[in-house]
Structure 1
Amino acid sequence: MGHGGDVIAELTADHGEVKDFFQRIDRTTAADERRTLADKMTIELVRHSIAEEMYLYPAVREHLDGGDSIADKEIEDHAEAEGLLKELEDLDPSGAAFTTTMRRIETEVLDHIADEEENLFPALRRACPAGMLHDLGDKVRTAKKTAPTRPHPGIPSTPPANKLVGRGIGLVDRVRDLLSGRGKGDDDESEGADRSRAA
């Protein structure tokens, strides 16, 4: 969830995790594993998107030429992906519709990632001082801890409303996840065991 470094390093690490989820989902045919991986990917994508909308895009609006239109496009990309993630929640992971929707999500998200990494992030690095980028990284990491974990198309995507609404919805989502076991799986247990052995 949190990787460290400035906002660009943090978000790029998130991108790597999401790409890994797509690869793992592609490699498995077991329905329960596909659902578990899709849920984990959704959790990470939603947290990442909310944190970007809370802190990255306001900085883009303020510091980049044409920042408003850039941020608006990025938010539109998020809305498209979030709608697809919402569809995915109700699909049978062994069915063709799940695979088709997952492919659409993958295309949408990978295009968005490429645009950010090739265009937005370099422009932001040129426009903003290093200290500000590190401060944004801290804010993004903090935001991801309280952000929603489920897609909620229609909630506000710009400050200040997204900061107020997002935390409350995030709390409800995390309680639902805890009660249902959503986002947990075998690899979580092995990672926990690895951490305890290392301690």
Structure 2
Amino acid sequence: MTTASQNRQSTDLIDVLAAEHREVEGLFAELEARFGASGPEVEDIAQRVVTRLVQHSVAEEVHLYPLVREVLDDGDALAEREIAEHDAAERTMKRLEALPARSADFWMTYRILTNLIAQHVGEEEQYLFPRLAAAVAKEDREQIGDRILSTEKTAPTRPHPASPSEGGALAALAPGAGLVDRLRDALTGRGR
């Protein structure tokens, strides 16, 4: 599957993450167009949403939030809030994965997830990204953007709510979990 992150010109971390936000919004729009429907197409789109959100979240937790802690005066509090939002979204994604698209609970859980992600994206783009643009040199943002893209290539494709939520421990575990997820995806046909 080719993603927007693989087709992008800019590697500035802000541009990379904002483009991924647009990609996920596009996937949500595909699901919204089928609201209340069921079947393999709906489940496939839902799985693509979960995969992209998990990969994006891992990259943010490994690279973005440690940077936020380092360069912003209130970085610890901001990073903790963002990570708490990721944790809530990951638990919701885990519930969504377990539900058949034909159930009302699937669509209610989908709605909860879209609200969580919309709030998170809004906070990052309106509040966090402008502050990082002012605090971090463009060259440094581009290097971190490159690392984000690299991390996403080996990141898990499924939610793992019990895994570490930030930094080195997550960076060490993510490639192994990602490999296991991709093998499972290939065996179940999910990795199409």
Establish whether TM, by shorter chain, passes 0.5.
Answer: yes
Find the aligned partners of 1:109 and 1:93 in 2 and give their Cα distance: 20
Stretches of structure 2 that go unaligned for 5 or more consecutive residues are: none
Tell me the TM-score normalised to structure 2 length: 0.93
Is 1:17 matched with 2:29?
no
Long gaps (5+) in structure 1: 185-199
- What is the alpha-carbon root mean square deviation over aligned residues? 0.9
In the alignment, the residues of structure 2 paired with residue 57 and residue 98 of structure 1 have an alpha-carbon distance, to the nearest angstrom, of 30
Which aligned pairs between 1:27-66 and structure 2 lie closer than 5 A? 27-28=33-34, 29-66=37-74
**1:36–1:183 contact (8 Å) kept in structure 2:** no
User: Is residue 95 of structure 2 the alignment partner of residue 87 of structure 1?
Assistant: yes
Moved over 6 A (4+): none
C-alpha displacement of 1:163: 0.7
1:171 paired to 2:186: no
Q: Shift in Å at residue 157 of structure 1?
A: 1.2
- C-alpha distance in structure 2 between counterparts of 1:137 and 1:41, whole Å: 21
Q: Deviations over 1:146-180 (max 9, x none)?
A: 00000000100122110111111011001111121
Residues 182 and 191 of structure 2 are in contact (CA less than 8 Å); yes or no, is this contact kept in structure 1? no
Q: How many Å separate the matches in 2 of 1:10 and 1:158? A: 19
Matches within 5 A, 1:68-87: 68-87=76-95
Tell whether 2:34 aligns with 1:7. no
Alpha-carbon deviations, 1:69-125, whole Å to 9, x = none? 100100000000000000011101011000000000000001000000000000000
Give the Cα–Cα distance (whole angstroms) in 1 for the partners of residues 125 and 178 of structure 2: 27
